[in-house]
A and B are shown apart, each in its own frame.
Chain A
Amino acid sequence: MKILPIVAGALVFAACSGSQTRPDGVPLGSQPDAGVAAPVVKEPTPAPPASAASRAPEPQKPSEPPLMPDQPFRNGRPEPVQRAAKFDAPVPIERKLKNGARVLIVPNHSVPLVAVEVRLLHGVDAVPIAKAGLAELVADAVLEGTRKRSAEQLARDIEDIAAHLTSSAGNESTAVHLNCLSERLPKGLDILADVVTQPAFRPADVERVRTLRLARLLQKQANIGQLAADEARRLMYGADHPLGQPDSGTPAIVQKIQRREIAAQHKAWWVPNDSVIAVAGDVDPDEAMKLLERAFASWRPRPMPELELPPPRPAGKRFISLVEKPSATQSQVWVVGPLFPARDPDAVPLEIANNVLGGVFTSRLNLNLREKHGYSYGVFSALQLGRLSGNFRAQGGIIAKSTVPAAAEYEKEIAAFASGDMTEDELRRARDTYIRTLPSQLETSDAVASAMANLVVLGRPLDYYKTLPDRAQALTREQVVDVVKKWVKPESWPVVIVGPVGDARAELEKLGFGPVEKAAVPP
């Protein structure tokens, strides 16, 4: 297979911190809650910046006649042409299986492919903190054999029909995602249902899953972005909350999780009455229902355990949480703060506003940290909104020696943003980007299936994407600014720094962000 490893791009993609990363550092995708297994759009991490410290030579005038005469029609950006097409975002057809599973279908016959995502509506949230990493192990282990298929047979059956089958656990849901040629859908669904409902968890397969997961946890130690993400989780949820635990647990815990615990977790939470199945692509809805009923006939509803989730306990004060990492040549600087669940009406205005601060390449944070100061390879900010809670984070990789001044620039930008400083033109731009990039986010069947499943996880209406452009368009600057002022509170938001800080710690103390505290990183 071609991998084209030898491509150098103008903007280099880096793993979203907190996402799963292959040992070689290639991002595999973000958390299921943001669209599992789909080739979702990742934050661009731009190429490294100019070194501000170097002395720039005097500007030179071009020394020779231009290649082309000037042509006045080239002055200024051209007017758009008329295109009738308005984006008609998908609204799924809703059905229900006899076993109670909700089914959402978006037919699209343009390419002979179908994506099917079974989404269980719990994930890491349903794991006690002493078992952190269990949800991810269950997601790994279901792909390693079923009662009627050995691990080897299962792999062969999937590859024989050229399907992709992936599984992963997120904060509040777990996804098993199938992509196959539409002509192989019956077989594909047979395999998908087998994996979801009849995993065998044979001891040898469980041990392999454990070994591979431990290898990834080991490699994670070299990834300062993932370490920053873990610390951010702890600061936003508290050490006694399931979502406050390190992503995929710790080696000490994963080492000890029993096979029977994996089976029990699956039995308790992988139930049709707490799931949604999203289908997108080249399939007829009635045909899809017939195939799904047949494939999932043996999946019976079961009563679920009571889940008593403690409320998140965000740090609630400004300080610097430091993870010293002497071997790194960069540092990660993050600012994190608690927000609200995805259903909150403030979500759309704040997402739009975030495009002004750090949502895109030409947002303020990146223009300042990368373009103006050359401290960073790219600084971005994002909202992560879940079913029950949500957070803000600004994050970036910083050239180690610039860590302290970079942190000061984050503060400057976020404070100005929090005060409501935003022009009409900035808002227009932020809103245009928000509305006009939507089609590309829903381009593939994989992306549509994951997005539809996500609507259910987050409690959003099924016409969410269809109405989104109009809702975004209707917002005034005052409304947007009010929402920013209501929620963006850097004076009580902690800063996470992971890197080779060393002696610069004293300088950090002088920034006025409160005390510098050594993070309590679990083993």
Chain B
Amino acid sequence: MAVHVESPVVARVAPVTAEPIVEAREVVKTYDTGQVEVHALRGVSFSVARGDMVAIMGPSGCGKTTLLNCLSGLDAIDAGEILIEGVPLSAMSDRERTDYRARRMGFVFQFYNLMPVLTAVENVELPLLVARVRSGEARRRALAALEMVGLADWAGHLPDELSGGQRQRATIARALVNDPAIVWADEPTGDLDSENAGEIVELMRRLNVERGLTFLIVTHDIGVGRATDRIVRMVDGRIVEDNRMEVPRVLARHAV
């Protein structure tokens, strides 16, 4: 799949920001299916700086999605430690993790995962309502988020009435509506044609550059990878490569 975005300048350098928003230390995750044990993460250490846009790439089954799930607190780890904004995930209760997700995280998934019975705007305002934002305010912010992703005219439509690209835009609007510290995206273009995929990547890039949103994107699509500041490659549950462009776009932009 070809993605028409400007290729980043890639170099092997250390992260430029000192303050990591997420940090993984020697994280181990094993799935026990009852028949076999699958070592999905074998001691992964990794961090994401605030304002970074990171792509995690690698072959199927290398542990990319597992890493995303563990870092975002969707799944439990077997060993090691994960810190979110300096706080160990293990110190948080399920409820605290849930509330943290509602307030500080956004998610974008391959198959959109919108609630089929809610309209686009209702889907977008859902995290706000969960976080107990007043309904009027939630609606205003949801409409603004839809505006930002170019979907304001489709606010009252159900997901079934939207195209794949529109659905993914709605998902992105939902992810950013609560002004998150980080957005996790799992194969965000995996179910889109090249044109829509390009638009989605461009949108994420714009949000990263203009609003300083931190993105961690799991993808197979090299086009998506090229649009990010940093590409982390995984094989067999281990990080084998961590490539970063010289100056992340977001910093460059804000420096200007």
Q: Is this pair of chains taken from one and the same complex?
A: no
